[in-house]
Chain A
Amino acid sequence: EAEVAQSPRYKITEKSQAVAFWCDPISGHATLYWYRQILGQGPELLVQFQDESVVDDSQLPKDRFSAERLKGVDSTLKIQPAELGDSAMYLCASSQQENEQFFGPGTRLTVL
């Protein structure tokens, strides 16, 4: 069964450092999402791509976060510089139709 792949699964970094997360969606899925999930809360959308274009990045802290999906397939989410409050699970999801999203296993980020 096709799955959304994410790497790394875990990342520990010091504040002010740069970090990057990678996501490979299910083949053929045009829509890709990055969510941030703080411990004890539900996921919150950071950015949504349709193919290589950003559809919604209204909740992305653009002073330190960036996301790209250059060829409309895999995607990278970057944080520079990382802050203590960025510690969270970062989830990637993809969808082919508007109604169902498939989630990857997530990247657990710890900022020290």
Chain B
Amino acid sequence: AQSVTQLDSQVPVFEEAPVELRCNYSSSVSVYLFWYVQYPNQGLQLLLKYLSGSTLVKGINGFEAEFNKSQTSFHLRKPSVHISDTAEYFCAVRNTNAGKSTFGDGTTLTVKP
């Protein structure tokens, strides 16, 4: 079985400030890791993914995440946020041998002017 814990349900931040959204996971097998963004009443859009190789992954919209195997974490970061980054962010893990993804409960990022 696998699980995902997003440590912060809500993160308020001022525009142009840096932000980190935290994600921890547990799994007994190797996993792929993902971050998705969801705007109100829309589906999920992939921000970035870790499959293998370099532990620092760069995604769209200036986001990046770092895979830390020893701490079983995959935290999402952005050095300077914009108002348009206000959305719900989901961390997900997927067993490398199966198609099913397990999602965290999400972090609401609110960027204030």
Chain A contacts to B: CB under 8 angstroms: 4, 6, 9, 31, 33, 40-45, 48, 50, 55-56, 91, 93, 95, 98-106, 108
Instruction: Determine if B32 is an interface residue (Cβ-Cβ < 8 Å).
Output: yes
Which chain B residues border A100 with CB–CB below 8 Å?
A: 46, 49
Which chain A residues border B43 with CB–CB below 8 Å?
A: 4, 6, 91, 93, 103-106
Closest chain A CB from B3 CB (angstroms)? 11
Q: Is the CB of B42 within 8 A of A101?
A: no
Known: A91-B43, A103-B44. A44 touches B49 (CB 8 A): no
User: Per a CB cutoff under 8 Å, which of B32, B99, B101 touches A55?
Assistant: B99
Closest chain B CB from A66 CB (angstroms)? 19
Which chain B residues border A99 with CB–CB below 8 Å?
A: 32, 49, 51, 94
User: Per a CB cutoff under 8 Å, which of A43, A98, A106 touches B99?
Assistant: A98
Closest chain B CB from A32 CB (angstroms)? 10
Q: Is the CB of A41 within 8 A of B105?
A: yes
Which chain B residues border A108 with CB–CB below 8 Å?
A: 41
Q: Is the CB of A105 within 8 A of B99?
A: no
Q: Is the CB of B99 within 8 A of A31?
A: yes
Known: A40-B105, A42-B106. A48 touches B46 (CB 8 A): no
Q: Is the CB of B90 within 8 A of A42?
A: yes
Q: Is the CB of B46 within 8 A of A56?
A: no
Of the listed residues B46, B99, B100, B103, the one surrounded by the most CB atoms of chain A closer than 10 A to its CB is B99
Closest chain B CB from A43 CB (angstroms)? 5
Q: Is the CB of A105 within 8 A of B42?
A: yes
Of the listed residues A6, A42, A100, A104, the one surrounded by the most CB atoms of chain B closer than 10 A to its CB is A42
Of the listed residues A33, A40, A55, A99, the one surrounded by the most CB atoms of chain B closer than 10 A to its CB is A99
Closest chain A CB from B102 CB (angstroms)? 8
Which chain B residues border A104 with CB–CB below 8 Å?
A: 43
In the complex, besides A91-B43, A100-B49, A101-B46, 5 extra interface pairs with C-beta distance below 8 angstroms are: A40-B106, A41-B105, A42-B105, A95-B99, A99-B51
